[in-house]
Amino acid sequence: MSEPDARRPLANPGHPAAGGFGDDEPPSRPRRHPVWEHVPDAQWDDWRWQTQNSIRSVRQLRTLLRFSPEELEAIGRLEGDYKLAIPPYYFSLIDPDDPADPIRLQSVPSPLEAENPSGYELDDPLEEDKDSPVPGLTHRYPDRALLITTPNCSMYCRYCTRKRATLTRGGWEGVSADDERMIGYVRAHPEIRDVIVSGGDPLTLPIGKLRFYLESLKEIDHVDVIRVGTRVPVTLPQRLYDNELVDLLASAEKVYIQTHFNHPREVTPEAARVCKALLRGGMPINNHSVLLRGVNDDLATMRELLRGLLRIKVRPYYIFHCDPVTGAGHFRTSVWKGLEIMEGLRGHTSGIGIPTYVVDSPHGGGKIPMMPNYLVSMSDDAVVLRNYEGLLIRYQAEDKPGTIDGTATRGVSGLLQGDKTVLVPHDNERMARRKPRVVRDGCGGDGAADGGRPILPLPMLNGTGNGHAANG
C-alpha cells in the first residue's frame, strides 16, 4: 500500500469531526499515535491486531502519555477496580499533548475515580438487577427487555453505568444455561416486542454466540425489533470491516443498531465506513450520547457531534444524563447544562438531528425526558407558547367560542386575554427580514391568526416597554 497519509484522507479536511485535532491541524495528519506509525495497514485494519494490541495496563499507558507521578500512583492503585482496554485506533484519536483531551477522558483512568463526590454513587444506579426476572435480563418497560450478553467491551468507558456487569470476567464460553433462560423468558412473554441485545458489547461476542442470540430472537414471532447496542463503530470499527459479521447482523432482519458516539472527533472516516456498511445491510443506526463533563458538555461540541452524525446518517436518539455510578462522579454535570444544550438545539438545527435528553431515574423508574419549558401559561381558551426565538404566542388549541372578558392587560396575561396574539423580542432577525405586507383572513400563513391586520417588520414596531414589541 502507498504511504498512510495519502491512504487515509479526511472526509472533510480541517473539520475536527473528520478526525483531525483541530482547525489548525494539517488534514493529512495520520491518526495514529507515533508508536504505531510503522504498523502495516493490513494489521492496523485487522480487528484482531487492534484487540491484541489494546492498551490494558497503566504500565503501557505511561509509555504513551504524560502523567504526573501522583497521577500514575493514583491510577496504579485503581487498576484492579475496573477494566482497562483501549484499542490503538481509539487511542490514536487522543491528542497526547492535551491532558484534558475528550477521548482521553473517556478511556484513560483518572485519579478522580477514587472519589465519590456526592456519596450518592452506586454500583447499580438504575437498579437493573432488581428488575431482573432471570439473570442477565432486565424487564422494566411493558414491551421491551434488555439482555446483558457479555461482560466484555472493546474499550471500557470510564463512566460506564454497567461497570458491575463489565467487571465480571469471562464471557467467551459457548451458549450457557443463562443465555437459554433469557431467550426462554422472551419466548414466554408475548408482550415483549423489542429486545435490546446489550452488555458489555455484544459485538465482542464469539460469532457463534452472537448468532445464537440473533437467530433465536429472529424466530420469535412477537419480537419485532432486535436492538444491538454496541460501541464498536466508535471504538473498534475494524471489527465491522468483517463482512461475515455485517452479514450475520443483516440476516437477522429485525436488527437496529444502537451505538454511542460522544464527541465529534469520534466521527472518523473509519466510523463512517462501517456505518455505511450497516445501513446498506438495512440496519437503521441510532445513537445515544452520555452528557459528560469536559467531553461534550457544551453546545458547540454537541452541535458539531450531531451534525457529524447526520453526515454519516446516524440518527441522534438520546442524550443521557450521566448516571451516578461509582467512580464516575467527576463526569456528572448539572441537569441545567443538559437543558441549556437542548435549548440551543430545538429550532436552531435540523429536527432529525435532535436527540431526546433523558435522566434515567433511580429506583428503576426508567428514562424521563427533560426539556426546556415551551408552555408558558394557559387559560380555558388558550395556551401561551414560546418558540426558540423567544416569541410568545397565543395558541388556541380548540375551536370553541371564546370567553374573553376583554380586561385590558399586558404581557403574557394580555395574550391569554386575547388582546394580542404574539409578543416578539425586539431583536428578532426573522421578523426584521420580513417585508411589510397585509395578510388576508386565513390565508396568510404565519400571520393568519391576526385576521387581516398588517404584519409589520420589526423595526417598525416599537417596544411596549417590557422588552417585547407587539404586533396587532
Ligand X SMILES: *Cc1c(COP(=O)(O)O)cnc(C)c1O
153 is catalytic: yes
Q: How far is the CB of 461 from ligand SF4 (least distance, A)?
A: 51
Nearer to ligand X, 133 or 347 (CB): 133
DSSP letter for each residue of 176-229: -HHHHHHHHHHHH-TT--EEEEESS-GGGS-HHHHHHHHHHHHH-TT--EEEEE
**Residue 287 amino acid letter:** N
d(CA 290, CA 296): 8
Considering only residues 305-324, where is the footprint of ligand SF4 by CB under 6 A? none
Amino acid letter, 333 = T
Residue 157 among the catalytic residues: yes
**138 lies in the binding site for ligand X (CB under 6 A):** yes
For the purposes of burial, counting CB atoms within 10 Å of the CB of 253, is it exposed (0-12), middle (13-18) or buried (19 or more)?
A: exposed
Query: Residue 54 binds which entry of ligand X, ligand SF4, none, with Cβ cut-offs from 5 to 8 Å by kind?
Result: none
- From residue 214 to residue 243, the character string flagging contacts with ligand SF4 as x (rule: CB under 6 A) and all else as - is -----------------x------------
Single residue of 157, 275, 319, 422 touching ligand SF4 by CB under 6 A = 157
Of residues 256 and 385, the one with the C-beta less far from ligand SF4: 256
Q: How far is the CB of 360 from ligand X (least distance, A)?
A: 6
Q: Which does 231 bind (CB under 5 to 8 A by kind): ligand SF4, ligand X, none?
A: ligand SF4
Closest distance of CB 231 from ligand X, Å: 15
Distance CA 92, CA 87 (A): 9
Pick what 152 binds: ligand SF4, ligand X, none; C-beta below 5 to 8 Å, kind-dependent.
none
Beta-bridged to residue 356, according to DSSP, are: 318
Among the listed ranges 85-93, 140-148, 271-279, 386-394, the one in contact with ligand X (CB under 6 A) is 140-148
Nearer to ligand X, 138 or 152 (CB): 138
For 151, 309, 344, 354, the CA distances from 264, given in Å and listed in that order, are: 27, 8, 17, 15
Of 82, 90, 104, 157, catalytic: 157
- Single-letter amino acid code for the residue at 95: D
- The site string for ligand X over 167-196 (x = CB under 6 A, - otherwise) reads -----------------------------x
Distances (CA, A) of 73 to 56, 59, 69, 157, 420: 16, 11, 6, 21, 66
Choose which of 49, 91, 156, 317 interacts with ligand SF4 (CB under 6 A). 156
**Residue 7 falls in the annotated catalytic set:** no
Site string for ligand X, 100-129 (x = CB under 6 A): ----------------------------x-
Minimal distance, residue 186 CB to ligand X, in Å: 12
The C-alpha torsion from 292 through 294 and 299 to 304, rounded to 10°, is -90
Judge residue 131's burial from the number of C-beta atoms within 10 Å of its C-beta, 0-12 exposed, 13-18 middle, 19 or more buried.
middle
* Angle (nearest 5°) at CA 383 between 379 and 387: 155
Amino acid of residue 389: E
Query: How far apart are the C-alpha atoms of 182 and 88, rounded to whole Å?
Result: 34
Give the separation between CA 119 and CA 78, rounded to whole angstroms. 18
If one asks whether residue 140 binds ligand X (CB under 6 A), the answer comes out as yes
Is residue 201 close enough to count as binding ligand SF4 by CB under 6 A? yes
Q: Tell me whether residue 56 is one of the annotated catalytic residues.
A: no
Q: Which of 166, 216, 286, 471 binds ligand SF4 (CB under 6 A)?
A: 166
Piece in contact with ligand SF4 (CB under 6 A), picked from 27-35, 37-45, 159-167, 313-321: 159-167
Contacts of 320 by beta carbon, 8 Å cutoff, 6+ apart:
288, 289, 290, 291, 358, 359, 360, 367
Task: Count other Cβ atoms within 10 Å, centred on residue 388.
Answer: 14
Is position 141 annotated as part of the catalytic site?
Answer: yes
Amino acid at 457: P
Which CB, 181 or 426, lies closer to ligand X?
A: 181
Q: Which is nearer to ligand SF4, 158 or 394 (CB)?
A: 158
Q: Strand ranges (DSSP E) for 225-374?
A: 225-229, 255-259, 285-291, 315-321, 356-361, 366-370
The one among 87, 125, 136, 200 contacting ligand SF4 by CB under 6 A: 200
List of residues contacting ligand X (CB under 6 A): 128, 138, 140-141, 144, 146, 196, 367
- Residues carrying an active site annotation: 140-141, 144, 153, 157, 160, 162, 323, 360, 367
Residues that bind ligand SF4 (CB under 6 A): 153, 156-157, 160, 162, 166, 199-201, 231
